[in-house]
Structure 1
Amino acid sequence: MSALEKKVDNRYEGSTIREFLKEELGLSSRLIRGAAIENRILVNKNSVRMRYILHEGDEVLVKLQRKESQNIIPENIDINIVYEDEDILVVNKQPNVVVHPTKRHQTGTLANGVLYYFQETKQNCIVRLVSRLDMDTSGLIIIAKNQFAHMALSKEMQDNNLEKRYLAIVHGHLKEKEGTIDAPIYRQEGVDSIQRIVDNRGQRSITHYKVVESFNGGDLVECFLETGRTHQIRVHLNHLGHPIYGDSLYGYGEEEKELIGRQALHAYGLDFKSPRTKETLSLRAELPEDMKNLIERIK
């Protein structure tokens, strides 16, 4: 059973259970309300109301598992698990895989495979995506196993405390081997396209970059996102005049099918704190084969 457990110390003598859950465990009002309605909040093994007054030494337990269902078809699809604990699952998504079912892709998505994995391993979880990637972008994605982990990590993302690192293979050689792109990204109104542009009407967008290695045909560039706009890395690198190989929207994708069948962009690194222990997790995923092959061809 997935649960949060904590003994009350003298700081919370005389406090309500609600105050303890918010201040000590960092739970949201929404989570507390739902858990209280479903009698999942216990003190000394007994369900309590939210006005319950605590005493030093009380044992507080919040059950995180609950009956939930999801309109996703479980499918036996290979998923590459990089890290797993009782709160989160981190997988290395392969290129050309949709993350979550859509009208056009009801099956064959990462979520279909993850739900099958949860059922096969007898974990009572639904698929709660903390992060997402474009279909053609490979790399690390976080899935929360419960509401507590999802809310905690979503807040970390909003506060820019969850670090995401990418590797991209670009055309040409960047003049500055290390720097910051601080350029607003905007989606033009009335344009029936998902394409973004750099425009002063857009939201502030910041990408830090560093050239890792240079080849005859281009650079391998590490990108660290300070903001998380749609297509941010692709737009910013193209803005510098160095589009990503295989990028059909911002580069020369159709002309490069023989080199690589998608944009050469890989979410290789995640650094964040565990929702439960607050210890820093530093997770990495090596370059996929198609990007390794591209490097060999442009050397």
Structure 2
Amino acid sequence: MKLKFKIKQDQQLREFIAEHDISEKLLSAIKNNGDLRVNGEHVTVRCLLRKEDMLEIIFPEEKRGKQLTPAKMDLDILYEDEYLLVVNKPAMMPCIPDHRYHDQTLANGLIAYYESIGLDSTIHFVNRLDRETSGLLIVAKYRYIHYLLSREYIERKYMALAYGQVSDQTIDLPIGRLSRHVRREILPAGKPSVTHCHVLKQGEHFSLVECRLETGRTHQIRVHLSAIGHPLIGDRLYGDIRNSAGTYYLHSYQLRFTHPITKQVLMFVEERPIDEAYYQSD
């Protein structure tokens, strides 16, 4: 990745780099495996930048893990530029490979896509979704872009099909885990976790709830709704309300964030129909 800047005032290069959130660790990597150039010439961080100079920062090549082998698949990419993309993940697809899912994951599909467009980089998920959860994900093409996005607030809204009559409320309960088990718990010593719930539709035994995340803990919506007595229908890890689909409906339908380079505010909305099997008793 390369970033180019037109300098607006006289300034030492090291100060300019610090103002753009480039850490000492990343700066060291740039020195060793990238480059710093002013008006096309190699420079050091001691260089004094002059107004109207053209600065080019060349970042090191990104290395992929051995498990990230390409697997060609149809991807629903809603937005893409040279720094990031937004993809709509289907339900029942893992984000990254593990001991159960080796190559048919979203990350493997993205690597195949990268290769098809000649992008020599790796995968940086800014937000992640459980295998069963569908919806919008931001993927940074480079580590530095991922770092910048991790420092920004990203508004995330989900649609969740919960059991029973949920009411509009904010759930502010800390989440942690007691062991290495995948299940999370409400724990006094857990991490602060806040979910804002707004009911969109209700039936006799269900509520379609819009959940806006203020924090991003693992399984946050599933844990919080279960904690107030309204687990997701079909979520066997956090409840026992089964359905014909054999899984739950949870969809990341809206993302809103500020682009870390262009500073443009981007918003994406992608709804997903709810099959009757999610409502029906098993």
- Whether TM-score is above 0.5 comes out as yes
Alignment partner, residue 22 of structure 1: 18
Q: Deviations over 1:64-97 (max 9, x none)?
A: 4626343211011121112111100111111111
| Aligned positions of 1:278-293 closer than 5 A | 278-287=263-272, 289=273, 291-293=274-276
Q: Residue type of the partner of 2:165?
A: H
What one-letter code is carried by the residue in structure 2 that aligns with 1:3? K
- 1:63, CA displacement in angstroms? 2.5
**RMSD, matched Cα:** 2.0
Q: Could you list the runs of 5+ residues in structure 1 that have no partner in the other structure?
A: none
Is 2:161 aligned against 1:169? yes
Identify unmatched segments of 5+ residues in structure 2: none
Equivalences for residues 57-206 of structure 1 within 5 A: 57-64=52-59, 66=61, 68-71=63-66, 72-156=68-152, 161-174=153-166, 176=167, 178-189=168-179, 193-206=181-194
SS of aligned partner of 1:113: helix
Asked if the contact 1:171/1:218 (under 8 Å) is kept, the reply is yes
2:246 and 2:61 map into 1 onto residues whose CA distance is 42
The reply on whether 1:218 has 2:206 as its aligned counterpart is yes
Aligned amino acid, residue 216 of structure 1: E
Match of 1:271 in 2: 256
Quick check: 2:76–2:87 contact (8 Å CA) kept in 1? yes
CA–CA distance in 2 between the matches of 1:295 and 1:213?
15
Q: Counting helix residues as a fraction of each chain, which structure ranks higher?
A: 1
Identical columns (%): 36
Aligned length: 280
Report the AA paired with residue 154 of structure 1: S
Q: Residues 223 and 243 (structure 1 numbering): CA distance in 2 closer, same or farther, change over 3 Å?
A: same
Change (3 A) 1:61 1:132: same
- Alignment check: 8 A CA contact 2:33 2:60 kept: no
- Superposition deviation, residue 100 in structure 1: 0.6
Task: Work out which of the residue numbers 227, 231, 234 in structure 2 matches 1:239.
Answer: 227
On the 8 A contact 1:101/1:107 being kept in 2, the answer is: yes
Asked if 2 retains the 8 angstrom alpha-carbon contact of 1:3 and 1:65, the reply is no
Tell me the alpha carbon deviations over residues 29-67 of structure 1, each in whole angstroms, 9 at most, x when there is no partner: 332221222242210011111111111111111134626
Structure 1 Cα separation of the partners of residues 18 and 251 of structure 2 = 37
CA distance in 1, matches of 2:62, 2:96: 21
Structure 2: distance between partners of 1:29 and 1:42? 18
**Is the partner of 1:269 in helix, strand or coil?**
strand
What SS does the corresponding residue of 2:158 show, helix, strand or coil? Answer: strand
1:205, 1:95 → 2: CA distance? Answer: 24
Superimposed CA distance per residue, residues 138-170 of structure 1 (whole angstroms, 9 cap, x where no aligned partner): 1111111112211111222xxxx1121111011
TM-score, length basis structure 1 = 0.87
TM-score between the two structures when normalised by the length of structure 2: 0.92
Equivalent residues of 1:128, 1:146 under 8 A apart = yes
Give the whole-Å Cα distance in 2 for the aligned partners of 1:137 and 1:171. 17
